[in-house]
Amino acid sequence: MNSVVKEKGKEKKSRTGRTNNSRLRPWIYVGPHLLLFLIFGMIPLVYGIYISLTQWDMVGTANFVGLQNYKEILFNTSSTFHTQFFSGLKNTLIYVVISVPCFIVFPLLIALALNAKPKGVTLFQSIFYVPGLFSISAVSIIWMLVFNKRLGPISNVFGSNANWFTEQPYAWIVILVVSIWWGVGGNMVIYRAALNGISRDLYEAADIDGAGSFRKFFSITLPSIKFQLLYTFVMTTIGSFNIYGQPVMLTNGGPTQSTTVLMMYIRNLAFGSGQSVAGMASAMAVLLGIVMVIISAFQFVLLNRDSTKG
C-alpha cells in the first residue's frame, strides 16, 4: 500500500514538473524578443510621447507644456511648425500613394513570371532580391551616377537632357525608381512563397472547365494569396510613410522643398543646425504615427472584410 502511494506521489510530482516545464518553455523562446522589444520599442515610444509634451532642446531641462506643441502644429496657421508639418505630410502622402501600388504590383508580376520556372529562375530571383541587401546610401549613390547629366547612361545612351534631381516631375521619378529597385525583392519573395503554396489541383480543375489565364488569376491566384497581399499592403504603407534616405541623398528635398518629406523636417528640428526643438519634433513624429495607425487600421479592416467575404 505504501509503495503504491509513493508511486502515485512520484507520478504526481513528475506531471507537475512536466506542466511547469511546458509553461516555462514558451517564455524561454519569447522572452528575449519581448525584452528587446521593451528596451528598443516600448520604452523609446513612451519616452518620445512624453518629450512631445515638453519644450526641450536636448541639453537643458525639459519643461512640460502639455498639448501646446500639438495645438501649434495643428491649428496655428502662422506657425512655421504648422507649415512644415502639413507640407511634409503632403509630400509624404504623394510618395505613399504612388509607391505603394508599385510595391504591390511589380513584385507580384515578377513572382508570377518566376513561378513559371524559366531557365535561370534562381539567378533572376537573386538579381531582384540582392539590391534590398544594400544600404539606401549605397543605392542612392549608384543611381546618382546612373542619372548623372554628364556621365550617366540615361543621358549618354538615351539622349535625355532632363535635370533629374532639380526639376519636377523628374525628382519624384528618380526617387520612385530608386525605391522600387531597392525594395521590390522583399515582397517578391513573400509572393513567390505564397504562389508555391497554391494547390495545383485548383488549376487543373480550372483547365478542365476551360478557364483562361486571366480567369485563373482572378479566381484562383489572387484569392489564394489574399492574406499575403493584405500583409504586404499594410507593411509597405507603413514603410513608405517612413521614407527619408532617398530624398535626402538624391534631391536634398528639392526642388523648392517639393520632395522634403515629413521625416526630414522631424530630423532637422531635432538634430539639424541651430537650436534643437526636440519637443516639437517628437510631437510631429507622434502625429505621423497616428496617421500611419489610422490608415493601416482602415486598410486592414477594409481588405480583411473583403477577403473574408471572398
Per-residue pLDDT tens over the stretch 109-137? 999 999 888 888 889 999 999 999 999 99
Q: Which of 8-12, 242-246, 303-307 shows the lowest per-residue confidence on average (mean pLDDT)?
A: 8-12
Higher pLDDT, 2 or 290: 290
Residue spans per domain, the chain: 2-51, 82-309
Q: For residue 149, what pLDDT is reported?
A: 83
Residues 30-57 pLDDT 10s: 888 889 989 998 999 999 999 999 999 8
Q: Are 218 and 206 in contact (CB under 8 A)?
A: no
Residues 81-94 pLDDT 10s: 999 999 999 999 99
Grid coordinates belonging to 146: 546612373
Question: pLDDT band at 161, cuts 50/70/90?
Answer: confident
Higher pLDDT, 72 or 307: 72
Q: Which of 104-113, 149-158, 160-169 shows the lowest per-residue confidence on average (mean pLDDT)?
A: 149-158
CATH of domain 82-309: 1.10.3720.10
| Strand pairing category for 54-55 and 63-64 | antiparallel
Question: pLDDT band at 10, cuts 50/70/90?
Answer: low
Q: Are 236 and 219 in contact (CB under 8 A)?
A: no
Beta-carbon contacts of 252 under 8 Å, excluding residues fewer than 6 positions away, are none
Residues 247-291 pLDDT 10s: 999 999 999 899 999 999 999 999 987 788 999 999 999 999 999
Instruction: For the full predicted model, state whether its pTM sits above 0.75.
Output: yes
Beta-carbon contacts of 217 under 8 Å, excluding residues fewer than 6 positions away, are 112
Mean pLDDT over the full length of the chain = 88
Q: For residue 19, what pLDDT is reported?
A: 60
Pick from 117-121, 151-155, 169-173, 303-307 the range whose average pLDDT is largest.
Answer: 169-173
Question: Does the pLDDT at position 201 exceed 70?
Answer: yes
Task: Give kind and range of the element (H or E) at residue 160.
Answer: none
Question: Does the pLDDT at position 176 exceed 80?
Answer: yes
Q: For residue 268, what pLDDT is reported?
A: 94
Could you give the 3-state DSSP secondary structure of residue 2?
A: helix
Work out whether the CA dihedral 127, 132, 172, 250 comes out positive or negative: negative
